[in-house]
Structure 1
Amino acid sequence: MAQRLATGDTAPAFTLQDSTGKDVSLADFRGRHVVVYFYPAASTPGCTKEACDFRDSLASLAGSGYDVVGISPDAAPKLVKFAEAEQLNFPLLSDADHAVAEAYGAWGEKKNYGKTYEGLIRSTIVVDPEGKVALAQYNVRATGHVAKLRRDLGLEAASK
């Protein structure tokens, strides 16, 4: 299993393509907090719920100095369809070889219906303006995760 990140660790640098083919790097967010969330598969019920929760909270997150980036192992064409279908207003990045997920500790052993396999672990890492991990959450639930994250960041009083 990949090493999980902890508060104070340096967030691993990455550059991945977004759904439009543009390169997006962690360095692009230097000077702001960025919520990097890993989700298993675009257009599935849980991932759609989580993405729409981020979409609906984006204005208040941005107003508090937080950007949002979603990362999955999906190919760019699937991300385009997902972003368009759900009107997602933040970058979705393709990590097809799951190297970034591994670097962030979001790839590892999973169990589902009695089977054990390697896969993406739904995770959220908040990176501070200096590139350090401010918060690391693993095995998060899709439903209610954004509300819990907002509470954990002290943003629960902010409106959506």
Structure 2
Amino acid sequence: MFEDTLELAENKLLLLYIFDKIKIPITNNKITQIILENNFINYFTLQQYISELISSNFLKYTEGENKHRLEITEKGKKVLSLFGNRLSRNKIDAADEYLTNNINIIKKDVTITSDYTIENKDKFIVNLKAVDNNIVLIDLKITVDSNKQARDLCAKWKNNSSEIYSKILGILTN
């Protein structure tokens, strides 16, 4: 039982550590992806820990653009600073390596968004958005005729947002 308690505490500290290192609010899906890709915690336990960290006010939800994102609170940072030395070196190294290799992708996923909704049976509204340091660079809504067009626009935006943004800006300013 004592080992279970230690593992629980270490896993929660690891979550706080990752949120603290990322430094930007991220979705539950993104933290789940990070944790599962590294086999740190299983899915159901992870969701329980996140819920417990929120109710303890170590993590909080921030709302923006119809997306709930999680971030570490000041209370969570304080707990991490007091007990972070209880994290195993292996887990810290694994988390640091993953974040170093993937931080740009993580930030891009948070700052570049694309989604679509059905307007009528035959119309789809595509929303393409880029945000940098909480400043909206572009927020574009386009109506298209098919689900395939909507999906294609979202995929192109995710893969080439910088280039597309530059072209739009160039067309509008020239």
* TM-score calculated relative to the size of structure 1: 0.28
Higher strand proportion: 1
User: Larger Cα Rg: Structure 1 or Structure 2?
Assistant: 2
Larger RCO (CA under 8 A, 6+ residues apart): 1
Higher helix proportion: 2
* TM-score calculated relative to the size of structure 2: 0.26
